[in-house]
Amino acid sequence: MADLSLHPDSEHIPPTLDPHTQPDTEFQDPEVVYRNEQFVMTQMGVSFAMILGMTFGMAGLTIAFMSDQVKGLEAVGWGMAIFTFSSMIHLLVSRIWCGRTDNQAIARNGYLFVLSLLAASFYLYALFSDTVYVFIGFIAANLYFPLFGRFILSIEPPTPPLRQGGFNITPFSRVALSAIVLVGIIIGMGVGMSSSGSQSTGRGLFARKIVVRKIDHSRKSIHMIVFRFIKPYRILQALAEKERSGVRVEVLAKSGTFKNDPASLDTLRAAGIPVRILPSDTPKWLRPYSIIDSRILLQGSKGWADTPIPFQKQLSVQSSMLLFERIRRMDYNFRVFWEHSRPLDLSPARIGRSVP
């Protein structure tokens, strides 16, 4: 018969000792208990910071679906930054407490770290590149949170034992995930309803100010189709500044767009902005619109159309993730029209001459 006294989990009671008088095996040093509780409370505070970062990610996803995918992607970026920073603090606190890191766990779970870096790279591509497929960034971010978080938690040693009734929360518990989804959606809906994305808003001066603001926020490209300009000085100035800053600006116009307003053409030419004239067989369904960074579609406003069509009186700003296919198609149409349109001479000798 095996000697159970050699097993570390067995409890050996000397036969001569009365069970009712055995020593208290649950005794713990009060200083150790206090230190353990302080450590766990610190870890819980850092875990709440990780939960906050994941909440930002959920809010950004909600914003992208409701109104503005660009704002949503930026909110997700803030969430990833908070989550990454707090995760490293979580690891640091654990390292200070236990004085070691499980090297075997690092080697065993290193693939999680590699996959999280790959997901972060896809997110950065969606954020900074000139692509309409912004949803790639949201998919990558939703993969980054669990991959990087699980990697950090997997290489940390176990938390010290707590007194009865104590607990420790992690961002991936059911309670935490439920709070992340609920609070993130509420915050995202609040921000989304206040955004100017994916709604019809304003006309005249108000509409032109919205166009200028979207142009000012552009980072990569501006594709614009105009039939005529009405009081365009703010827009022309914004386009010229963006061209000088390195943003690729391209303007398509109807043949008579600058006939009564050659100064606008001179301003575009002086800024070095390429202008092309749409062919005469342009489809009848084509209406003026602008694409900002291949992600934001601006349509309408009476000041941008050649005829006062009712639905063209309001400026429509469309930038939600649900409309990305429409934005992609409109941007593709612009590129097709650009390739089949007649370029204008941008040489200085042409500036000030009559418009062809």
Residue 278 pLDDT class (50, 70, 90 cuts):
confident
- Residue showing tokens 């050699």: 6
Mean pLDDT across the chain: 79
Instruction: Determine the pLDDT at residue 258.
Output: 76
Please give the single-letter amino acid code of residue 42.
T
Instruction: Determine the pLDDT at residue 207.
Output: 74
* Residue 128 clears pLDDT 80, i.e. is over it: yes
Instruction: Determine the pLDDT at residue 67.
Output: 81
The domain made up of 199-350 has a fold known as: Endonuclease; Chain A (3.30.870)
Instruction: Determine the pLDDT at residue 263.
Output: 82
Instruction: Determine the pLDDT at residue 332.
Output: 92
Residue 100 pLDDT class (50, 70, 90 cuts):
confident
* Residue 74 clears pLDDT 70, i.e. is over it: yes
Instruction: Determine the pLDDT at residue 303.
Output: 46
267-276 pLDDT, tens digit per residue, is: 888 888 898 9
Q: What does residue 16 show for φ and ψ, rounded to 5 degrees?
A: -85, -5
Instruction: Determine the pLDDT at residue 188.
Output: 86
161-201 pLDDT, tens digit per residue, is: 665 555 667 888 888 889 899 999 998 888 777 665 555 55
Instruction: Determine the pLDDT at residue 32.
Output: 67
Average pLDDT over residues 21-29: 52
Average pLDDT over residues 31-60: 85
* Residue 7 clears pLDDT 60, i.e. is over it: no
Domain residue ranges in the chain: 30-193, 199-350
- pTM of this structure: 0.73
Average pLDDT over residues 129-150: 91
